[in-house]
Every structure is written in structure tokens, then in C-alpha cells.
Chains A and B, each alone.
Chain A
């Protein structure tokens, strides 16, 4: 993916550029809001990573300006502000996702990749398939190798989100946010327990595991092990 990182801290920006390159993406850097806005207007990017507090023009204004110009490039807002209202403000300004500093790079990578992939509107996909595992979004039926698997509603939504992002790492926080709509720290490994229950239903009686744990990052559903 071609990304633009608008971040005023040089060291953070260079770390992101290097780490993103190692993950197979290219990233341009902008050190302030004005430069960042001009670069976002002048070229086509797959996604933007925008720091909230920037010199010259703050991050939210950059996003608002782009949205006012009908620029739909996905935006991930980074912020050191962790206020309860800040997230709401960030998303209201037109951000697609919001990440609070300090963050793990794996979290940022998983989120930016999830954003960049949103090319096909998800409503149009009626069926997800990974290997012989099939999820039918119209009948809410899940089968593996033709065998029907009975899932609880929450397990179904968990699998749906994982399959929508098949082949990509999905972090625990992303699961908590998208499957449960919670933006708080659950204290314990609640997500792990839910994933392991799902795994026991879709993988246990089959030879080839599809639901993988990615160390230090999260989970991934894929035919090939990561």
C-alpha cells in the first residue's frame, strides 16, 4: 500500500516509515499539517496516518478539509489524547479509525491494513470463504467441508469479522471494538477465551487449522499458517 504519514515527531515518523517498508508498504512523510494536507491533495494514497496534534494545521482540520473536498482516502488518526470524548471527536471529523499513543506497531499495522482493504463495500459481499470454511452472510450458515457448524450469535460475528479480514492480522482490540463495540480495556484475556471457543468449533475436528494466533499481534484466519 502507498501510505502518507503526517507526524511532527521526526523519530516516530522515521520509525513508522522503516517499519511500514519492512511490512511491504511505502510511506511518504509530512512534518506538519499544511505540508501533509498539500501532499494528500496532490497524490493518491491508499491510506493516511494522521497525528492529531500537528504544527501549523491540526490533524482534525486536515481530515475535515479532505472530507469537505470529497476525498475518501481512509484515515487512521493517532493521538496522545486519550479522553473519552476525543475518540468521538476524531471519528466525527471524518477519521475511519482512532489509535491512542502509546501503541504497538503491530496494532497500527493491522488497523492500517484493514482500512486500506476497504475497496469493495462490505454489504455487497454475501459470502466469505477461507479454504473449505464458508460463511454465508444471507442465511447466516457456516459450513466447513460441507459440514454445518452451529455457532452462537456472538461466535458468528467474531468469525464474520475474522473472515472479512482473511489473510490479515486482526488484533484483540480490533475484535473488541468491531465485534462487541467496546472501546475499553477488558483487563483479562477475554478475547482469547472467545477465540479459543470458536477455534474448537471450526478447527478441532479438522486436520488443517485455519484460525491462527499471531504472536504479539493477534489472530488471523488463513489457509496458510503465518
Chain B
């Protein structure tokens, strides 16, 4: 019982219930106004009808008296009194004696009132005796003669009170229905909102994959649930990304950190004296610099993914810029025994952050130099050359860097663009594992794209940047 009471109290407190009750109250007020008008009009029509009948009869009787005298009037009244019907009459001579009529006296309520009015009278004898309501007006036919013409309006009164009763019953029924409907509506709304609350609690407890159930009706609560679910989806994705990054940081940064620590310890233990200490410290600083580089690359990617480098965007000639960067790497490639061919004219001009695009192109060429050679030593392969091309395409500029290395198999291409992913064969090469993911972040920031292709043999990375 207490539980039920609590439930009702809780439901009565819901917005849905309050809205239902407010709506119902407004409706009831409107309905009452209509009912009152209806009642008043009906009453007025009935009263007018009665008054019209009375005055018509009064006029007839007055004419009769004038034309044929009192005895004839007495006869007429007696005749009318004996008819079945609602007509009420009373005729008395100047002495106060009743001459004719079905009323026995002038009702005290209207005695002396020249306009007549409403009065009570009794009919029947003994057990059948009943008090009824009548209305009558005095008619002047001759001096001293009293004539009352009236109507029994008891039927009308009964009709009016029945009308009132049914209106009241209707109102009570309407009110109850509204209350129940409000409770039911709030129950439904409450149940769905409770589902949302429950889901969010589960999510807060760490179960990120929970989703709010949809009712399938496509209503506004479903819309809300749908967009909340989409938001949860995005949050889960971001969280997963964050987790992946922190896992990778743990993995890829702990190793060099540990190496650095070992190196410092080794230097401390070294009996070689100041010279050895110095060498150990220098190597430690080099290790620290490598770590800083990795951190910087990570931070840069994170910032690029957050977007916004509007201020430093300029319009520049991609062809010239790429040629410039490639030339910076030309001697490095040469020392590594690779030939670097640059196919870039002037243009197209694009609007972008020059430094970021430069960094992306540098990363691509750097990768090509690091991985652009076959390691399996098979003969008959094309010469190890790197090709850098810039072409103008409909979308803007297409920068392609191709090598003759082992390439990346189709299945791994998607993964290679992700942060920290270093495909097995590259583990032995130095590097942060962030090169390609930085390129793809730069592309995304400029609304461009990166795709990896087969250079048959080798890898071809295509960076597309819009104008």
C-alpha cells in the first residue's frame, strides 16, 4: 500500500502528469461554461413559451368576459379547468368567493402582486398529495373580479434539475477520466525516462557500450534517445582512441624511457672515469631528444585533430614547395643509395598551412628513404628509386611519393595511417611511428585525403589537398 502511494506521489510529480492535469482543468472550465450557457438558454426558452401561452389564454378570457359577461367567463374557466393539462385557473367574485378554477385560492406568494409570479400549490388527496410549482398572472376582466391564469411548471423544474444532475455526473466522469489518463501518460513517460536514467547510471559505472532502448515509435523521446545514443557512440569512439593512444604511449614510450634509464645507470657504473660519464650523459641527452620529438609529434597530431590553424594559412605554390622539400632530402637519399626524381612544375596554388604541408611531404619522403629499399635481396627488381610528383587535379593538388620498397599489403594499408602503428617489417628502423598518421592528420585538417596504393612493386602514397 505504501509502495503504491509512493508510486502515485512520484507520478503525480512528473511533468507529464502535471501537463495532463492542467489540460484537463482547462477543458473542464470550458465544458462548465458551455453547460451553463446551454442550461440558461433552455430555461429561458421554456419560460418564454409558458409566458406566451399564459398571455394568450388571458387575452382570450378577457375578450370572453367583455363580450359575454361574467357567467360566460365562469363557464369558460370551468371548462378549461376540467381539461387535462398544465393549465391553472382561479376565478372569484368581488366578495372573494370562488366561481371557477382548479386552484382553491389566490396563492399567498403572489397575492397583491400585479405582475404575478411563481408559487407552490398542492394537488391530489391523501397519499397522492403532492406539492407542485406553478406560475400565474392576474388578469383584470372586470372590477372586483379576480382571475388568475397560470401553468403548472413542475415538469419543467424536474427537467432542469435532471439536466443539472447529468451535467454534474458528466463533469465528475470527465475529471476522473482525465486524472486516470494523466496518471497513465506519466507512467509511460516515466518508464521511458527511467530507462534513460538507468542507462546513464550504467554508463557512469563504466559500461560505456550501454545504449538507451528505443520504443520504435519515432516520437520526440525516441529522437532524444537516438541523439543521446549517437553522442554516446562518439564518446565511446573518442575514449577508445584515447585508450589506444595511452596504451601505445605506454608501449612505445616506455621502451625508449627504459633504454635511457639503463644507459644512465650503465654510465654511472662505468669505471672509465669522467670521459665515460660524459659520453653516457651525451647519449642520455640524445635519447631524451628523441623522446621529446615523439611527444611533439603526438601533441601536434592531437592539436591537428582538434582543428583550427586558420591564422597561419597562406596561399602558396605546391609544386615549388614540394620541389623545395624534395631537394632538401635529395642528398640524404643519394647517401642512402636511392635516386630521387622530382616531377613538379609550378602550381597549383592552394591555401593551407605551409609548414604543416611541408612537414607532411617531408615525412613521406623520409619514409620512402627509410623503407624504400627491398630487404629480401631478390635480384631483377627495379632500381631503388623514389619519385615525387605534383599534379593538378579537379579537387586541387595531388602530391604522390612512390618508392620501390616492399610496400604495404592491401589489408594493412588502413592500419598504417593510424597513430603508432609500425608494421612488423619496420620495427627495426628508427622512428616514432607517427609519420603517416601525421600526414593523414594534416590532410584531414585541410579537408584533403591520403591514400596508399601499390606502386607495383613498392608503395605509393597520394596526398590530395583542396585549393
Mark A residues whose CB is within 8 Å of B: 82-85, 87-89, 100, 102, 104, 154, 180, 182-190, 193-194, 197, 215-216
Closest to B359 in A: A184
Proximity bits, B294-314, A CB within 8 Å = 1, else 0? 001101100100001111100
Question: Do B369 and A188 have beta carbons less than 8 Å apart?
Answer: yes
Closest to A101 in B: B292
Question: Do A190 and B311 have beta carbons less than 8 Å apart?
Answer: no
Which B324-346 residues have C-beta < 8 A from chain A?
Answer: 324-325, 327-329, 331-332, 335
> Count of B residues near A, CB < 8 Å?
34
| Contacting residue for A154 out of B327, B359, B431, CB 8 A | B327
Closest to B324 in A: A180
Q: Is B449 an interface residue, CB under 8 A from the partner?
A: no
Question: Do A104 and B285 have beta carbons less than 8 Å apart?
Answer: yes
Question: Do A82 and B299 have beta carbons less than 8 Å apart?
Answer: yes
Q: Is B435 an interface residue, CB under 8 A from the partner?
A: yes
Question: Do A185 and B359 have beta carbons less than 8 Å apart?
Answer: yes
| Contacting residue for A183 out of B324, B331, B355, CB 8 A | B355
The docked-state distance in angstroms from the alpha carbon of A100 to that of B300 is: 13
Chain B residues whose CB sits within 8 angstroms of the CB of A197 once the complex forms: 331
Closest to B285 in A: A216
The docked-state distance in angstroms from the alpha carbon of A85 to that of B354 is: 12
The docked-state distance in angstroms from the alpha carbon of A28 to that of B355 is: 35
Question: Do B362 and A186 have beta carbons less than 8 Å apart?
Answer: yes
Chain A residues whose CB sits within 8 angstroms of the CB of B292 once the complex forms: 102
Question: A85 and B311 in contact (CB under 8 A), knowing A190-B328, A193-B332?
Answer: yes
The docked-state distance in angstroms from the alpha carbon of A223 to that of B282 is: 26
Interface of B, secondary structure class, is helix
Question: A194 and B309 in contact (CB under 8 A), knowing A84-B355, A186-B362, A187-B363?
Answer: no
> How far is the CB of B300 from the nearest CB of chain A, in Å?
7
Proximity bits, B28-45, A CB within 8 Å = 1, else 0? 000000000000000000
Chain B residues whose CB sits within 8 angstroms of the CB of A189 once the complex forms: 332
Question: Do B296 and A82 have beta carbons less than 8 Å apart?
Answer: yes
Question: Do B327 and A185 have beta carbons less than 8 Å apart?
Answer: no
Q: Is B353 an interface residue, CB under 8 A from the partner?
A: yes
Chain A residues whose CB sits within 8 angstroms of the CB of B358 once the complex forms: 182, 184
Chain A residues whose CB sits within 8 angstroms of the CB of B265 once the complex forms: none
Chain A residues whose CB sits within 8 angstroms of the CB of B328 once the complex forms: 180, 182, 186, 190, 194
> How far is the CB of A195 from the nearest CB of chain B, in Å?
10
The 6 A-B residue pairs with the shortest CB-CB distance, nearest first, are A184-B359, A187-B366, A193-B331, A85-B311, A84-B309, A88-B312
The docked-state distance in angstroms from the alpha carbon of A88 to that of B355 is: 11
Question: Do A185 and B297 have beta carbons less than 8 Å apart?
Answer: yes
Closest to A92 in B: B311
7 examples of A-B residue contacts, CB within 8 angstroms: A102-B292, A186-B362, A187-B366, A188-B329, A190-B329, A194-B331, A215-B282
Closest to A102 in B: B292
> How far is the CB of B338 from the nearest CB of chain A, in Å?
13
> How far is the CB of B360 from the nearest CB of chain A, in Å?
9
Question: Do B311 and A88 have beta carbons less than 8 Å apart?
Answer: yes
The docked-state distance in angstroms from the alpha carbon of A87 to that of B310 is: 13
> How far is the CB of A191 from the nearest CB of chain B, in Å?
9
Q: Is B244 an interface residue, CB under 8 A from the partner?
A: no
> How far is the CB of B228 from the nearest CB of chain A, in Å?
33
The docked-state distance in angstroms from the alpha carbon of A187 to that of B435 is: 9
Question: Do A85 and B366 have beta carbons less than 8 Å apart?
Answer: no
Q: Is B293 an interface residue, CB under 8 A from the partner?
A: yes
> How far is the CB of A32 from the nearest CB of chain B, in Å?
27
Chain A residues whose CB sits within 8 angstroms of the CB of B431 once the complex forms: 187
Q: Is B289 an interface residue, CB under 8 A from the partner?
A: yes
| Contacting residue for A182 out of B297, B300, B309, B355, CB 8 A | B355
Q: Is B54 an interface residue, CB under 8 A from the partner?
A: no
The docked-state distance in angstroms from the alpha carbon of A105 to that of B431 is: 24
Question: Do A216 and B293 have beta carbons less than 8 Å apart?
Answer: no
Question: Do B282 and A89 have beta carbons less than 8 Å apart?
Answer: no
Chain B residues whose CB sits within 8 angstroms of the CB of A188 once the complex forms: 329, 332, 366, 369
Question: A185 and B311 in contact (CB under 8 A), knowing A84-B303, A104-B285?
Answer: no
Question: Do A85 and B362 have beta carbons less than 8 Å apart?
Answer: no
Additional 6 contacts, C-beta under 8 A, given A83-B303, A84-B353, A100-B296:
A184-B358, A185-B296, A186-B328, A188-B366, A197-B331, A216-B282
